[in-house]
Amino acid sequence: MRTRRGFTLVELLVVVGIIAVLVSILLPSLGRARKVAQQTVCASNLRSQGQALTMYVQQFGYYPGHAFSNGTVTYAVWPVRLRAFMNKNQGAFFCPSQEPGFEWQKATGSGSAYASGAEGRFGYESGELLLDVFRVPFSYGYNDWGCVNPGKHQPTPVGEPQHGLGGDLGAAKNQDTHELRSSRVKSASDMIAIADNTTDGLWDYNIDPTTPTEYPGRIHNKGANVLFCDGHVMWYAQKELVNIDPNTGTGQFMGSLWNNDHVPYVP
């Protein structure tokens, strides 16, 4: 009778070695594939937000604005306003490349940190957590001021200083911070609306090419997915998005993409 012969130790070690080599070859490829997949999901999220933004603008004739201060809490309004046109899908506001904790939190309670009846005009449900710009982290930021923030550039440009899609609603009247009329955007296909942000839990809801802590993110291959006002999404390296110096004229093309008048800088 023929006896069955098992594997020798040398043969097992050879097999294990081959498997180890294959794993070392495949792991980087799998890691790259995972990053590409995450970037694709992120772009899909932004397209969903873009569809909601288009519907919002068509219905109201204005862009939703960035945030509102009730004297106690400054909270974001643009995600809540867009959520109403997305079947309340909060998952589409989380980039999968971000760390856990930057999801839109589903928390309810009472007190100043939570919505009451007054916040209902922006779309908040009674008792839900306010998107406090100083305390609640988030994945995406809104182009509120463009590259001409009247609080950072002097002299303040002549006329309305809002060169983005709407800053802090209800702020000082001399900043003219009402919702931006849609007709003010001269070229929707060349106007940045929303992008991956620099997530640190502080002003995560806006993007600003002149303030490093509020730059668009570098989470996707050192760059960010960017939604434009006409609904298309493109990737840019962070260094491209912030290559702007209004005083020297550097980055004029990119500067025009930040401003609703499609002008790099209005002195």
pLDDT tens profile 121-138? 999 999 999 999 999 999
Per-residue confidence (pLDDT) for residue 147, from 0 to 100: 84
Q: Which residue has the higher pLDDT, 14 or 97?
A: 97
Angle, CA of 255, 239 and 256, to the nearest 5° = 10
pLDDT tens profile 205-259? 999 998 999 999 999 999 999 999 999 999 999 999 998 875 665 677 888 899 9
Per-residue confidence (pLDDT) for residue 249, from 0 to 100: 58
The predicted model scores a pTM of 0.84
Closest CA to 165 of 136, 190, 194: 194
pLDDT tens profile 140-187? 999 999 987 665 544 444 455 678 998 888 754 444 457 899 999 999
pLDDT tens profile 74-114? 999 999 999 999 999 999 999 999 988 889 988 999 999 99
**CB neighbours of 84 closer than 8 A, spacing ≥ 6?**
52, 56, 123
Per-residue confidence (pLDDT) for residue 33, from 0 to 100: 76
Measured CA to CA, the distance from residue 49 to residue 59 in angstroms comes to 15
Per-residue confidence (pLDDT) for residue 219, from 0 to 100: 93
DSSP β-bridge partners for residue 114: 129
Measured CA to CA, the distance from residue 60 to residue 179 in angstroms comes to 10
